[in-house]
A and B are shown apart, each in its own frame.
Chain A
C-alpha cells in the first residue's frame, strides 16, 4: 500500500513539474511555433483526459465531448461579451457543459449498452443544428470575442487544465471509486449485485468529465477568440477526444499524454506532406491500435518491456521458467 501511494506521489510530482516547465517555456526563449505546439498538446491532452475519465473508466463511449467543449466555449464567450469577469465566464462554461451532460446522462445512463452512445451522437448533431438557429449564438456567421486577451493567458490556463485533468485521472484510478468504475466496466450486473450504485456513479462521473470538457472548450474559445458553429461543433473534436486516450492507453493516466504528443506530431507532419489525409491517418491509426494493441500504445510497449525483462530474468535463472 505504501509503495502504491509513493509511486502515485512521484507521478503527481512529475506531472506538475512537466506542466510548470511547459508553462515556463516562453521565459526560456521558446519560439511562437514551439509555444503553439505545447498549447495544442495540452489542449488534446485535457480533452482526451475528460473523455478518458468517463468513457475510458466505464466503457460507456461518448461521441459528444466535442459538443460539450463547444457548449463551454459558447457560454464563456457569450458571458465575456456581456461583461462578466473572466473567471466567472470560464466557470459558466463548465456549468453549461455540466447541464448538457445531465440532459444526456439522465435520458440514457440509466440504460445499459449502446443507448448512451446514441444519445451522445445525436446530442452532437442536435447542438450544431440548434446553435445555427439561435440568435444569441450569432448563427452560422460566428461569434467573436470582443475583449482582446494576452495570448499567454489561455496558453497557461490550458496547461494548468491538462495537468489537473491528468492528476484527476491518477487519483481516481487509485481510489475506491476507480475500482468501482472498473467493476462497472467489467460486468455491470455483478457490480450492481455488490451494491455499487452504478447509475448514480455514472451520472456523477459524466458531470465531472463534462465539467473538464467545458473548461477545455472555454479556454480554447478564449485562445481562438472567435467561434463558428461548424468548426466548434465539428465531429473532429469528438474524434480527437476519444482517439487520444484510445491510441495512447485507455483508462490509464499517462497513456493520453503519449496520445496527445503523437496526435500533434502526426498532425504537423501531415500539414507538410499530405494536408488532405488527416482523417484517413487518424482512422487507420485508430483501427490498427484497436485490432493489434487494444489496451493502447503505452500499455502495449510497457507489457513488451516487462515480458522481455521477465524472459531475461528467467533465462538467467532457468528454475523460474518451471514455475
Chain B
C-alpha cells in the first residue's frame, strides 16, 4: 500500500473516533430538541460530569474505566430526569427564550461548580486498556478502538429504540405535535423526562469516553458541545439520522484539517461550516424546513 493511501486510512480511522463521540453528543442534543424544542446549552457540562465521574472511578478509586461508563450513564440519566422534572418542565409553556435561559444558566452553574471543585488541572489516568493495535498498515490505539465500539453500540441501540419500539413512536409523536400526542393518551410528562434523562445519560457516556482518550478539565465538555451544535445544525435540528451523518462528516473534517494545518484551524473550519449551513441550507442536510427555515 502506498504511503498516501495509508495516511488517508489513518486519518479516516481517527475521524471515525471523533465522529463517534460527536455522534453521541449530537444524538442527545437532537433528541432533546426533537422531542421538546429545547436547545440544551448545558449539554457540555453533562459531558464534563461524565468525564469527572470516570476519572474519579478510574484514577481515584483505581477501578476499570469501563465501570465508569455505566456509572456515568446512570448518574447522567437520573440527573437529567430530575432537571427536566424540576426545572425545564416549569418553562415548557412559556416563550422559548425562558427554556433557553434555563439551560444556559445551568451551564454557567455547572462550569462554576467544576472549576470550584476540580480547578484547572488536566486530569488523566492509566487504568483500563492501553497499547496499539496494528491493522495492516494503520495503527489504532486500543483505547480509541474501544471508544469507537461503544459509540457504535449506543448509536445502534438508540436508532433501534427510536425506529421500532412503542417508546420511539411516543418520542416521534411528541416531536410532531405535543398537544395531539397528549390527547391521544401519551403521558407527555413521562416521555419528556425520559428523553431528557436518556440524552443527558448519553452526554455523560460521551464524557466518560472522552476522559479515556483525552484529558479532563472543567471546560472539556464545552469544547465538545460547540462541535456537537455544529453537527445538529448541519444535520438538521432534531433529525437523528441527520445528526449521525453530520457527526461522521465533522469528525473527518476535524481529523483531516487537524493533520494538514492544526487543531485550531480544524475548529475554525468547523465553525465556518456552521455559517455556510445557516446561509445556504438553514434546515440542515436532512432536516425539514421548520422554524429554522
Contacts and interface: CB of A to CB of B under 8 A. Distances in A.
Interface in B92-140: 94-98, 100-102, 104-113, 115-116
A61 B95 CA distance: 12
B267 interface: yes
Contact of A276 (B90, B97, B115, B279): B115
Contacts of A112: 291-293
A122 B109 contact: no
Interface in B223-247: 226, 229-230, 233, 237
Q: Categorize the interface residue count of chain B.
A: 35 or more
A239 B105 CA distance: 9
B282 interface: yes
Listed residue (B105, B106, B229, B264) with the most chain A CB atoms within 10 angstroms of its CB:
B105
B109 A115 contact: no
Interface residues of A, number: 36
Contacts of A132: 264
A107 interface: yes
A258 to B, nearest CB: 18
A311 to B, nearest CB: 26
A168 B100 CA distance: 27
Interface stretch (B73-81, B149-157, B192-200, B268-276): B268-276
B274 A118 contact: yes
B229 A121 contact: yes
B98 A294 contact: yes
Counting chain A CB atoms within 10 Å of each CB, which of B104, B112, B115, B226 scores highest?
Answer: B104
Given A61-B97, A130-B268, A286-B101, A280 B109 contact: yes
A309 interface: no
Given A279-B109, A287-B106, A119 B278 contact: yes
A108 to B, nearest CB: 6
A59 B112 contact: no
A283 B233 contact: no
B87 A107 contact: no
A141 interface: no
Given A279-B109, A283-B109, A122 B116 contact: no
Contact of A113 (B102, B105, B230, B292): B292
Interface in A97-156: 107-108, 111-115, 117-119, 121-122, 125-126, 129-130, 132-133
Contacts of A276: 115-116
Which among A59, A117, A277, A279 has the highest number of chain B CB atoms within 10 Å? A279
Contact of A107 (B230, B237, B279, B293): B279
B39 interface: yes
A287 B109 contact: yes
Given A117-B100, A118-B233, A121-B226, A287 B105 contact: yes
B91 interface: yes
Interface in B243-293: 264, 267-268, 271-272, 274-275, 278-279, 282, 291-293
A280 B274 CA distance: 30
A284 interface: yes
15 contacts: A113-B291, A114-B100, A121-B226, A122-B230, A122-B271, A129-B267, A280-B116, A283-B106, A283-B110, A284-B109, A287-B105, A290-B91, A291-B87, A291-B102, A294-B98
Listed from nearest, the 8 A-B pairs whose CB atoms lie closest are A279-B112, A283-B109, A283-B108, A280-B112, A287-B105, A113-B291, A286-B105, A122-B271
Given A108-B278, A122-B271, A286-B105, 4 more contacts: A118-B233, A121-B229, A294-B94, A294-B98
